[in-house]
């Protein structure tokens, strides 16, 4: 591949990044906050590629051509630059139900299970959550029915009927909120239909969402279990008005709470499918 072709490919990679960012499709693969960085990187690559194209098409000085014993501009390895362009143009859709099964694990926070049976029940993995991620205060201990359990302090739910709550906040409130904010009041959650899996002996279905720390490669599943037959095919995005069954998330089911459904409707996939 000569220098001109390499330069064109660099410009194309930059253009593909810009198009992916401006269209919003980049949010299918990385956190939405990376948009400005991707846009800047794409513009930079485009400018570098265009500048190199201009230099490549300029006629070489006669003296340089006379002393050049061979062509340094050709390299088969440079064709590998085509791969990023193809990857951007043929990028797969957002992660779905298969990723839920692959990334499923304990939804308890590290060292703070909602299990009253003592320290030998502490879960070592963080399940995708951190002890204080801004949704509530750091875990503390309280006494419920004469036993110590871990809890978190959450702000009041938004006012109004069936307020919107992210799936991850719903799970945390169901597991750690001693006031029962989502077990005594209906809220609205968003996710997609997924199989219940072996954790629930394939009984019922899940409303799930994948959250990411950086990109789709580190996605983790957030899950809420629902009894009964799924009202829509797997992978369908839904909005559901729900309440959590108290104490339904335990070590036996990886701290996945079960929800009672007041209503559930089909919806389009959100612009940011990995949102909180």
* Phi/psi at 98 (5° precision): -60, -40
Among 89, 120, 152, the domain-final residue is: 89
In this structure, the answer to whether residues 109 and 72 fall within a common structural domain is no
Least Cα distance to 198 among 207, 206, 189 occurs for: 206
In which residue ranges of the chain is pLDDT below 50? 110-139, 141-147
Query: What pLDDT shows up at residue 165?
Result: 93
Tokens 């963080």, residue?
A: 126
In this structure, the answer to whether residues 81 and 119 fall within a common structural domain is no
| CA 99 to chain CA mean position, Å | 10
Q: Is residue 14 part of a domain?
A: yes
For 65-87, what is each residue's pLDDT tens digit?
A: 555 555 555 556 556 666 666 66
Among 68, 89, 110, the domain-final residue is: 89
In this structure, the answer to whether residues 9 and 56 fall within a common structural domain is yes
For 140-161, what is each residue's pLDDT tens digit?
A: 544 444 445 567 788 899 999 9
Q: Is residue 274 part of a domain?
A: no
Handedness of CA 38, 43, 49, 52 (dihedral sign): negative
Query: What pLDDT shows up at residue 173?
Result: 92
In this structure, the answer to whether residues 140 and 78 fall within a common structural domain is no
In this structure, the answer to whether residues 245 and 128 fall within a common structural domain is yes
Burial class (CB in 10 A: 0-12, 13-18, 19+), 191: buried
Least Cα distance to 50 among 23, 19, 13 occurs for: 13
Contact (Cβ atoms closer than 8 angstroms) between residue 189 and residue 174: no
Identify the bridge partners of residue 258 per DSSP, sorted by sequence position.
225
Q: Is residue 275 part of a domain?
A: no
Pairing of strands 140-144, 205-211: unpaired
In this structure, the answer to whether residues 249 and 112 fall within a common structural domain is yes
Query: What pLDDT shows up at residue 66?
Result: 55
| CA 184 to chain CA mean position, Å | 29
In this structure, the answer to whether residues 106 and 177 fall within a common structural domain is yes
Tokens 């051509």, residue?
A: 65
Q: How many domains does the chain have?
A: 2
Burial class (CB in 10 A: 0-12, 13-18, 19+), 13: buried
Tokens 């959650």, residue?
A: 189
In this structure, the answer to whether residues 211 and 235 fall within a common structural domain is yes
In this structure, the answer to whether residues 55 and 120 fall within a common structural domain is no
| DSSP per-residue codes, 121-168 | G---S-TT--S-SSSSPPPEEEEETTEEEEE---PPPPSSSS-B--HH
Among 89, 115, 132, the domain-final residue is: 89
| DSSP per-residue codes, 249-275 | --GGGTT--EEEEEEEEE-PPPSSTT-
* Contact residues for 14 (Cβ-Cβ < 8 A; gap 6+): 41, 42, 43, 44, 45, 46, 47, 48, 49
Q: Is residue 161 part of a domain?
A: yes
Full residue range of the structural domain in which residue 64 is found: 3-89
User: Whole-model pTM above 0.75?
Assistant: no
In this structure, the answer to whether residues 109 and 233 fall within a common structural domain is yes
């Amino acid at each position: 591949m000569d220098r001109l072709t390499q330069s064109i490919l660099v410009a194309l990679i930059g253009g593909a990044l810009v198009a992916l960012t401006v269209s919003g499709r980049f949010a299918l693969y990385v956190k939405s906050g990376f948009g400005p960085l991707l846009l800047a990187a794409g513009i930079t690559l485009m400018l570098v590629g265009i500048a190199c194209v201009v230099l490549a098409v300029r006629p070489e000085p006669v003296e340089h051509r006379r002393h050049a014993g061979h062509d340094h501009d050709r390299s088969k390895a440079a064709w590998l630059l085509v791969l990023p362009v193809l990857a951007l143009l043929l990028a797969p859709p957002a992660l779905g139900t298969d990723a839920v099964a692959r990334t499923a694990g304990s939804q308890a926070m590290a060292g703070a299970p909602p299990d009253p049976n003592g320290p030998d029940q502490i879960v070592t993995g963080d399940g995708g959550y951190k002890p204080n991620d801004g949704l509530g205060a750091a875990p503390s201990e309280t006494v419920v029915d004469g036993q110590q359990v871990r809890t978190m302090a959450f702000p009041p739910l938004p006012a109004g009927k069936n307020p919107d709550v992210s799936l991850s906040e719903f799970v945390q409130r169901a597991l750690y909120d001693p006031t029962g904010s989502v077990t005594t009041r209906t809220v609205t959650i968003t996710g997609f239909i997924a199989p219940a899996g072996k954790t629930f002996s394939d009984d019922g279905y899940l409303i799930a969402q994948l959250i990411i720390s950086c990109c789709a490669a580190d996605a983790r599943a957030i899950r809420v279990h629902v009894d009964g037959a799924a009202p829509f095919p797997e992978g369908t995005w839904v909005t559901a008005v729900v309440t959590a069954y108290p104490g339904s998330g335990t070590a036996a089911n990886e701290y996945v709470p079960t929800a009672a459904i007041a209503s559930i409707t089909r919806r389009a996939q959100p612009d940011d499918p990995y949102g909180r």
